[in-house]
Amino acid sequence: MFNSIFTVRNLIYSIVAFLIILVIATISIFIFIFNDVQGEAQTQGDEAIEVALKETPLTEASDTRTFNAEHSYVTVFGEDESDNGLIVFVPIEEEADSTIDWVEQSNGLTEKEMLDEWRESCSDCDLKQIVPGKMNEQFVWEIIYTNQSRYYFQTFKFETGELYDSISFSKN
């Protein structure tokens, strides 16, 4: 009887030890994958800044974001030598019809102006992301948000804030 209790206790200890090791390994794998993805995004942003500084009037970069549509871009914010705000669109994948392009911030709405206009028409919405982009050779602001039970992906014309395109999906 003593041997069977000792064996059951050892089995329980072994199972608990295995589960603890499994949880630690799973957490370690998730941390590794997360850091790898974050590092890749940082590298992509750094490379886009380097390209933007070489191939556009941009002289100082302050921020990067990613815009995904038909073509994906790293959007680089910064200034030219005259301190004019510029937004540069560096294609993520080199494709025949994707080129590096830029627009002066003064040619359109600022991020704050676009958000103010959007909030006037969508007061109960939960903003997830805003990023400038380029669709069909048109500069746009993309706003991603939730409202009630739907996710919305809306693009607005950069120059005027007028709705350009809208897609929504059910959260469920």
Q: What mean pLDDT comes out for the span 25-30?
A: 81
* DSSP symbol at 96: T
Domains of the chain, residue spans: 111-170
Asked whether the beta carbons of 48 and 76 are under 8 A apart, the reply is yes
Give residue-wise pLDDT tens across range 98-147: 688 999 999 999 999 999 999 998 878 999 999 999 998 899 999 999 99
Cα angle value 117/101/152 (rounded, 5°): 35
User: Residue 8 pLDDT > 90, yes or no?
Assistant: no
Interatomic CA distance for residues 146 and 152, integer angstroms:
6
At residue 147, what is the residue type?
A: N
The DSSP code sequence of 9-60 is: HHHHHHHHHHHHHHHHHHHHHHHHHHHHHHHHHHHHHHHHHHHHHHHSSEEE
More confident residue, 113 or 25: 113
Reading the block at residue 126, the tokens are 């939960």
User: Residue 149 pLDDT > 70, yes or no?
Assistant: yes
Helix (H) or strand (E) holding 126: strand 126-135
Interatomic CA distance for residues 125 and 79, integer angstroms:
32
* Predicted pLDDT of residue 41: 54
Say which CATH topology domain 111-170 has: Nuclear Transport Factor 2; Chain: A, (3.10.450)
The percent of residues in the chain predicted with pLDDT above 90, rounded, is: 57
